[in-house]
Amino acid sequence: MKFKERVFSGMQPTGSLHLGNYLGAMLKWIDLQKTHECIYCVVDLHAITVWQEPGELRHAIRQVTAAYIAAGLDPEKSILFNQSQVSAHAELAWVFNCVARLGWLNRMTQFKEKAGKDRENASVGLYAYPNLMAADILAYRATHVPVGDDQKQHLELARDIAQKFNNDFAESIRTAGYEDGQFFPQPEPVIVGPATRVMSLRDGSRKMSKSEPSDLSRINLTDDDDTIAKKIRKAKTDPEALPSEIEGLAGRPEADNLVGIYAALAGSGKADVLSEFGGRQFSEFKPALADLCVARLGPIAQEARRLMADPAEIDRVLVDGANRARIIAEPILGEVKDVIGLIRAAS
């Protein structure tokens, strides 16, 4: 089957979004909506794999939606919704729980990192998270998935699940009219740009993350201008001047990170940044980076705050998006049920 090009991606409402989410994924989302049919989700079912205070979760779902729109996602053009409103995600995830193998999930590094030493106490949902992510993507037969570098392994698992489903039910899939046996596509990760893995501002060896206790480690999309400037000023660096060539960033994770952030915000490459700032000290580079961050992120924070003043409108956008998402996902889920031998009401 020739699959229509379709984009799917999502973010967890586990707190406010940060610069890593923005540069690693969202900039590409905004680009892709110019050329592709795009489905962007607030993945609230993923968020509850770790306990969330209900009031805060509700707030975070709206806040992430506001950030999506403020950053440039157009809810008229793209489909924007929260995952839990479209039950096809959870239903298909159950099917995939029965397709994926324990050995596959045991290899997932994100589970190991998030469960830490207390594995026995982690939720079953956290363990099965990649199966739900595969369902998010394949419920729409999405072909392209723009994500940060940390999601590469989960994307590979989604591809394995698609392949195994196609193999396990090959005969039934052909009987259903898919002559080439391709019921699900192999979704392609889209991991591009100079900042596919933005690191903590306090430790260049750790990913910038919502759940990192130190707020100084990340720039939130809700931070005001002074806070952004302060966080950049306090960002960890080394004592050397910036190199003139990219090779000079090797072994200097903090410098590499800040140069990557500058390049992504400026819409250029690391080489361009170094040709401008090579040989200069961080005391000169940091104020320029802070100005650029404020110029790019300040208006997003301001617009998100304006949108958050009208939660009913945000909820309306999510309901509208969910209605449009269901129109795509439900027939695909219906076919999945037919292919695996379940009985459903005739449509």
- Of 28, 207, 231, 270, which is the active-site residue? 207
207 is catalytic: yes
* Per-residue tokens: 165: 């489903």
337 is catalytic: no
Which residue from 11, 42, 86, 161 is in contact with ligand AQP, where contact means CB under 6 A?
Answer: 11
Minimum gap (Å) between residue 201 Cβ and ligand AQP: 11
Minimum gap (Å) between residue 21 Cβ and ligand AQP: 4
Residue closer to ligand AQP (CB basis): 12 or 222: 12
Report CA 217 to chain centroid distance, whole Å: 19
Question: d(Cα 136, Cα 123) in Å, to the nearest integer?
Answer: 19
Which residue from 6, 8, 14, 304 is in contact with ligand AQP, where contact means CB under 6 A?
Answer: 14
Residue closer to ligand AQP (CB basis): 41 or 173: 41
Site string for ligand AQP, 180-199 (x = CB under 6 A): ----------------xxx-
- Of 152, 164, 210, 230, which is the active-site residue? 210
Question: Taking a C-beta distance cutoff of 8 angstroms, is the pair 199, 208 a contact?
Answer: yes
42 forms beta bridges with 11, 82
CB atoms within 10 A of CB 341: 8
Question: Taking a C-beta distance cutoff of 8 angstroms, is the pair 212, 113 a contact?
Answer: no
59, amino acid identity = H
Which residue from 16, 21, 166, 220 is in contact with ligand AQP, where contact means CB under 6 A?
Answer: 21
Radius of gyration of the chain (CA): 21
Residue nearest to ligand AQP (CB): 24
114 is catalytic: yes
Question: Taking a C-beta distance cutoff of 8 angstroms, is the pair 208, 236 a contact?
Answer: no
Length of the chain: 347
Question: Taking a C-beta distance cutoff of 8 angstroms, is the pair 26, 68 a contact?
Answer: yes
Under the binding rule (CB under 6 A), the answer on residue 228 touching ligand AQP is no
Interface with ligand AQP by CB under 6 A: which residues? 11-12, 14, 20-21, 24-25, 147-148, 150-151, 196-198, 207-211
* Residues known to be catalytic: 114, 207, 210
